[in-house]
Amino acid sequence: MSLRVPPPQSLREALKVPDRYMFGPGPSNVPPRILEAGARPVIGHMHPEIFEIMSDIKSGIQYLFQTQNKMTFAVSGTGHSAMECAIFNTVEPGDSVLTAVNGIWGERAAEMAERIGGRVNAIVAPPGGIFTNEDIEKALSKHRPALFFLAHGESSTGVLHPLDGIGQLCHKYNCLFLVDSVASMGGSPLHMDQQEIDILYTGSQKVLNAPPGTAPISFSERACRKISSRKTKPLSFFLDFNWLTNYWGCDDKPTRVYHHTGPVTAFYSLRESLAVLCEEGLEASWERHRTVAEYFHAGLENIGLKLFVKDKQVRLPTVTTIIAPHGYDWKEITSYIMRTHNLEISGGLGPSAGLVLRVGLMGCNSSRTNVDMVLSALTDALQHCHRSKV
């Protein structure tokens, strides 16, 4: 048979990738040290050396999450795959699930739980808002869920949700506490074991400054008991907890069985990014993100912009939401800044679409120098973008 599809002309050209300031909600810039780690030679996904690297990653995640959980590993995929891994393994058809919706992530968790037959209820706060522990307890007592989902860092609205006492409340009602920390992990204090979180996940591409594509996750003993008492197999083979924990050597079985071909070069980058974080220290990283965010927020107010989250205590230090300036088209501002300053900032997402501009300064990007660069780009955009007379 002859070929009917010729090689595309575009692939004869050299690969072109611009070098940009990645100051949106993620992915963040990847420093050379982490890029170089990912460029090391490929080895087999079942070679003893990769198992060593995976074991280092596991210890790094335990430090990052502040957990002693044995069932700690990284999903081969983005934060969404970890979200599905958490939900698909702990929820069976007919289980009651409660999600806290104050932005897009609670909506996504509800959608995933619904797709696998969960009976989903939500508590809803306006974008930018939070829930009190009383709100949460009322809903737990009413709906008696098997799983409660909350986003620690709501990147769509710029909210850092308080966590204290919620794990304890969930356990009072025999419910697992699932926390999304994709946008907050490493940039804001979180103690998985002490805060009684049962399932916690994050992504590689934000504070960790690794390329997108791996998602650290951890399960408490309580979560493992719920999984081992399942009457049905999880709907996803790829995200099956028992297969994944065996591949990651978490289950103490003498042999690891082939499940999927782990993205080995992505594991190298993730390991390097965890090493960078360990060198700085978690507390130093939290403090740096906090002080840089405060400096940024003060600077925004100085140039006449307003922050979307009014209460300073619950502002996410990693992703800042700015009320879309009155009279301007937010898209013109983001494109002007990309064109003129080679710098990505973004608009809103889900419930905050059209309402805000979002700036992410995460990991190595969280510095006063970068804040000054964003403030001058915004000042320039406000002078040069079209302003309507409304």
Footprint of ligand GLV (CB under 6 A): 25-26, 155-156, 349
Q: Min. distance of Cβ 26 from ligand GLV in angstroms?
A: 5
115 is an annotated ligand-binding site residue = no
Q: Min. distance of Cβ 360 from ligand GLV in angstroms?
A: 8
Taking the least distance from each CB to ligand GLV, the nearer of 227 and 319 is: 319
Q: Min. distance of Cβ 140 from ligand GLV in angstroms?
A: 27
Taking the least distance from each CB to ligand GLV, the nearer of 162 and 350 is: 350
Q: Min. distance of Cβ 181 from ligand GLV in angstroms?
A: 12
Taking the least distance from each CB to ligand GLV, the nearer of 71 and 150 is: 150
Measured from each CB, the residue nearest to ligand GLV is 155
238-268 burial code (b ≥16 CB/10 A, e <16)? bbbbbbbbbbbbbbeeeeeeebeebbbbbbb
122: helix, strand or coil? strand
Neighbours of 142 (CB within 10 A): 12
Read off the DSSP letter of residue 17.
-
Taking the least distance from each CB to ligand GLV, the nearer of 104 and 125 is: 104
Write the secondary structure of 342-384 as one string of H (helix), E (strand) and C (coil): CEECEECCHHHCCCEEEEECCHHHCCHHHHHHHHHHHHHHHHH
Task: Kindly report the length of the chain.
Answer: 390
Taking the least distance from each CB to ligand GLV, the nearer of 234 and 348 is: 348
Please give the helix or strand (H or E) that residue 241 lies within, else none.
helix 241-247
Alpha-carbon distances of 386 from 325, 331, 390, rounded to whole Å: 12, 11, 12
- Looking up tokens 């690891």 gives 256
Token duo for residue 73 = 């590993």
Q: Min. distance of Cβ 155 from ligand GLV in angstroms?
A: 3
Binding residues: 358
Binding residues for substrate: 358
